[in-house]
Chain A
Amino acid sequence: MTARPIPANDGAASPPETADAAALWQEALLCLSLFAVDPGLGLRLAARAGPVRQQALKNLRASLPPGEAWRKLPAGASPAALTGGLDLAASLAAGRPIAEKGLIAASDGGVIVAAMAERMADDAAGLLALALDRGTVPIERDGLSAELPARIGVLALDEGMEEDEAPPHALCERLGLWLSLDGADPRGSAGGHLDAAAIAAARDRLMAVRPDEAGLETICQAAMAFGIVSLRAPHLALRAACASAALAGRHLPGETDIETAIRLVLLPRATTLPGMPQDGNEDDLSAARDEEDGNDATRNEPPQDDVRDRAEETETGEIAPQDETLIEAADAGLPADLLKRLAAMARSRQMPAGGGRKGAFAGRARRGRAIGTRPGDPRRDRLDLVATLRAAAPWQTIRRRERSGRQTDVLPRPLEIRAADIQVRRHRGKAETATIFAVDASGSAALARLAEAKGAVERILAECYVRRDRVALAAFRGTRADVLLPETRSLTRAKRCLAALPAGGGTPLASGILAALDLAKASAREGRTPLIALLTDGRANISLAGAAGRPQAMEDARMAAAAVRASGIAALVIDLAQRPSEAAREIAAAMGASYLALPRADSQALAELVAAAPRGALASRAIARP
C-alpha cells in the first residue's frame, strides 16, 4: 500500500475555514524550516502547482544561504544528466576528455528540486537514493570513472493525484518530511515567512544537538504503532526532531520536538493507527482515509462531463442508474476509489511472466518516455544522435589516422561514425488497465442480491470510464462459466450484457474464477495490467467437472483461487452473501485478493474506532470525520 502525505484537511468538499487554513500554513512553514535547517532530511511536498506552492518554495529558497545550490530536476531527466559524463563539445575541441558534472554532483551542498516527482523514472530515483545514502555520486560513463561528493537535499514536488501516481518508492523512502499543502493558505496569517537568521543559527547548532534514549524510544515506538516497516523512517524522524530542537535553541530534543517529528515524518507514512484492530483491517482504514481525501467529488459526479468523446458520452448516459436505492446500496459497500487502489495493488504486485521489470510497462514499447539508450539498430528503434556522437567521439583521432593511411579515401570527412557507435533510445510505454468482472449469477444467494451486484458493477464501470480502462465480463451459473463480453472499451456493451444476465442454478465458482483468469492472462499478454473483480457469495456447489457436491466444488474453487494468486494478478472479491461469509473470505485469501462485503456493516464501527484513537492534532483533522 502506498501511503500518501495526509492532506491537511477535508479538501475540496468544503471551503476551508480561514483560521484553519492559516494554521495549516503555519504547519507547512514549520516543516519547510526543518528542511532548511537540515536539507539532508528530504522533503516530499504534495501540492498542485499554484500560488500556495509557489509561495512555499519562495519562502524556503529565501531562507537558505544564498551561495547554496538550488537546482531543478525535470521529470524526464536521464541518468546521464544526473551523473554527468563526457562533455562532448569540450572534449572534441580540446582533444582530451573533459568531464561534465551531472546535476547531482553540481548540487553538492545544496538542494535538488525534483519537478513532477510522481513521473520520475526508477533509475533516476535510484541514483538520487544512492547519493542520499552515500553522500557521493559515482560516474561510470563514457569512459569516465570517478566518485564526486554529493551531499544533497532532495525536495520532491509531488503532483500525483492518485494512489498509483506517486514518486518512486526508493526515493520517498529516503525523504523524511512528507508535507501536503492541501487547504493551506498563506493569506491572513501574520509572520508567514521563514526566519533566515534563525535557520542559520539552527544550522550552526545542529551538530551539537543530541537526542536522548527516551526520545529515541518514543520515536521507534510510534513508528511501530503506525505500522511503519522501514527503519529509515524512525531514523529520519530522529533527525527531524534534532532539527526542530536546533531551531528552538535546544541541545536536547524535547517533547515538542519529538511530537513535531512524529507528526511530520511518521504520521504521513502510517499504515495503521494505534487502537485499530491489527487483523488486516488496513484496507478499511485507508478507505476511511481516502474518503477524507476529498475524492468524494469524483464519486458524486457522473462521468458525463467528459467532452473528449461525444459518442461515448451519450453512451454512458445510459449507465445512469435505473434504480436509485439499488445503486445506493452498492455505493455504500464500495469505497469511492476502489479501482485506483486496485491499480496501485496491481502495480506493486508482479506479473511473473513479464520478467524483471514493472508489470505495468510494455516490454519493447517504441513510444512513451525515453528511459535510456543502448547500442542498437536505428531501423528498429529510434536513433539517439547525441549518444551516438558521444560513443563515436573517442575514436575520431584513431579513425582519422587510419584513414589517412589509405590512398583510396579522398572524401573529406569531418566526423566518422561507424555502425558500432549507433545508440538507440529505449522507451517505456504506460500500459492500459483492464478490469475483468466475474459475476456469480447462481441461484444460491446471488439471486437475492444480483440486482445490487449489478449496481456495484455499474459503479465500477463508471469509474473505468473515467480512467479509460478496458473491461471484460464473465458470468457463472448452472454448471459452467461463460465469457459474456471479451475485453472491450465499450462500456455500453458491458452494461447491456449485464442487464440481460439471467440468474439461477448452481454455483460453479471454480469455472468462474478460471474463466476470469484466462481473460486476465490474455490481457496481460497484450501488455495490459489486468485486475480481476469477483462478485460471489463463495458458496461453490458445482465442481470444475460440472458435478454437484459442495466439498469437491469448494476444493476446486480453492485451487482455482490459488492459481490466480500464483499468476500475480491483482484481484478483488466482493462478497454477495447477506452477511459477510466465511466462504467468500476464504476464497479471497486463497486468491491473495482484497475482500469487501457488500454492503459493509462495519463502516460506522470503524469511524468510531478511528475517532476514539489518540493522536496528534493534524491526524484528527485528517482522519476523523465529524
Chain B
Amino acid sequence: MRLAFPFAAIVGQDQMKLALSIAAVDPAIGGVLVFGDRGTGKSTAVRALAAVLPEIEAASCPYRCDPARPDEACETCRGKPKSRRGKARVPVPVVDLPLGATEDRIAGSLDLERALSAGEKRFEPGLLARANRGFLYIDEINLLEDHLVDLLLDVAASGENVVEREGLSVRHPARFVLVGSGNPEEGELRPQLLDRFGLSVEVKTPTDLATRIEVVKRRDAFERDPAGFTARFEAENDAVRGAILAARERLANVAVPDETLEKAAQLSIRLGTDGLRGELTLMRAARALAALQGGAEVGWPHLAELAPLALSHRLRRDPLDEAGSATRVTRAVGELAAA
C-alpha cells in the first residue's frame, strides 16, 4: 500500500481541511464538494484524510455494520445472533471511485469466480459496499458519466444500495460521505447534483511566494522519502485525529440556542436559498465546528464561518449580480451581523 501525503502536512487550504474535518465529525453533513484550480492539492487532501480518521467498531460482515446500531444492520448480520456478528476496530474506508469504473463494480454484482466455476449465484459487493460508513471519493466528478451520477445520487439519498438482477436480489446499507472534486473549466455540475453536497469549497492556488515554496518543498520531500516524511508529521496527524475523535464525542452535547437557529433562518431567507436543506446543513456543520473547537454551544461566529461553505452552492444564479456566490453569502453575513 502506497503511503498517502500526511493530512497535517498540507500547507494552507484551510477551508478544504475544515470541510473534510467537519464531515469526519458528523457524516450526516451530506458530502463535500471541492472545486478549483488544478494543482492545488484537492485529491491529495481527500486521500490524506484516511490517515486522520479514528477507527470504528465494525461487525465482520462485508459492510462493516455498526454494532451500536442494530436497526441499520445488513441482512447478513440480521441473520445472526448479536453475539456472533463479530466486532473489531477497523479503519474508516476512504474509497476512490476511478473514472472508467463500471456500474456493476460500483453497485456490486455477481461473484465472477463462483459464477463461472460453480455456476453459483452469489453477490459480490462493490464500491458502494466498501464505502459504507466511510467516504466515497470521485475526482473529476464533472466527467463522471450521467448514468453513474444518477446511481450514486439515488444511493446517497436512500442510504441503501439495491441490486436486482435475474434472481439475484440484494439490498445492503450504503451510507457514505460523498466527496467530489473537479475543475470548473471541465464543466459545471448539474444543479441537482450540486444541491446534494452538504458543503462546497472553492480552492485557489496560494499566491504568495513563501507559501508556494513551502508547498513544493514538502511535496518534493515526500516524494523522496514517503516513510520518513510521514513519520515527521505523525504527531501532528495524531493531533488532528484526536481532535476529530473528541469532537465526535462532544457532538451530541453541543447546544443549539434558539437565537442561533433564528439567525440561521434569517440568513437563509436573506439569501433566498431553496428549501430547508441549506439551513439544516448549516446548523449541523456549525455544531460540528463548535464541537471541534471545544465549545459548549453553537454561536453566531460558527454560522458566519460556515455560511459560505454550506450555502454558496445553493443560491440561484442571479444574472444581474456579478459577484460570485461566496461573495454574496459573505455580504449577507456581514449585513446580518450589522443588523
Contact = CB atoms under 8 A, between A and B. Distances in A.
Interface residues of A, number: 78
B103 A375 contact: yes
Interface string A552-589: 00000001001101110000000000000000000000
A393 B112 CA distance: 9
B114 to A, nearest CB: 9
Nearest to B106: A140
A356 B116 contact: no
Contacts of B190: 355-356
A263 to B, nearest CB: 18
Interface stretch (B55-63, B209-217, B251-259): B209-217
A91 B110 CA distance: 15
Contact of A231 (B100, B103, B212): B212
B109 interface: yes
Contact of A394 (B41, B105, B116, B144): B116
Contacts of A231: 39-41, 205-206, 212, 215-216, 219
Given A350-B187, A374-B147, A230 B205 contact: yes
A143 B212 contact: no
Contacts of A173: 38-39
B322 A220 contact: no
Contact of A95 (B116, B187, B217, B322): B116
Contact of B217 (A92, A141, A216, A393): A216
B116 A140 contact: no
Interface string B125-159: 01100000000000110111111010000000000
Interface of B: 2, 37-41, 43, 96-106, 109-113, 115-121, 124, 126-127, 139-140, 142-147, 149, 165-166, 183-190, 193, 205-207, 209, 212-213, 215-217, 219-220, 224, 317-322
Contacts of A229: 37-39, 205
Residue among A133, A143, A235 facing the most chain B CB atoms (10 A cut-off): A143
A169 interface: yes
A397 B212 contact: no
B212 A223 contact: yes
Contact of B319 (A82, A350, A398, A563): A563
Given A122-B143, A232-B39, A359-B187, 18 more contacts: A80-B100, A130-B99, A140-B97, A140-B100, A141-B105, A143-B109, A216-B216, A224-B207, A224-B209, A230-B37, A231-B39, A231-B215, A233-B39, A348-B185, A350-B187, A394-B110, A395-B115, A398-B120
Contacts of B166: 395, 398, 418, 420
A622 B317 CA distance: 43
A559 B189 contact: no
A134 interface: yes
Contacts of A232: 38-39
A400 B212 CA distance: 62
Contacts of A210: 224
A145 interface: yes
Given A220-B212, A356-B188, A357-B187, A123 B115 contact: no
Interface of A: 79-80, 82-83, 86, 91-92, 95-97, 122-123, 126-127, 130, 133-136, 138, 140-145, 169-170, 173, 207, 210-211, 216-217, 219-221, 223-224, 229-235, 238, 348, 350, 352, 354-359, 372, 374-375, 391, 393-398, 400-401, 418, 420, 426, 559, 562-563, 565-567, 590
Contacts, number: 198
20 contacts: A79-B100, A95-B117, A97-B116, A122-B186, A126-B140, A138-B101, A140-B127, A141-B101, A210-B224, A216-B217, A220-B212, A223-B212, A350-B184, A356-B142, A372-B145, A374-B103, A394-B110, A398-B115, A398-B119, A566-B318
A86 B105 CA distance: 12
A133 B165 CA distance: 36
Nearest to A358: B187
B38 A216 contact: no
Given A127-B99, A418-B166, A221 B188 contact: no
A217 B142 contact: no
B100 A217 contact: no
B116 A397 contact: yes
A235 B220 contact: yes
Contacts of A395: 110, 115, 166
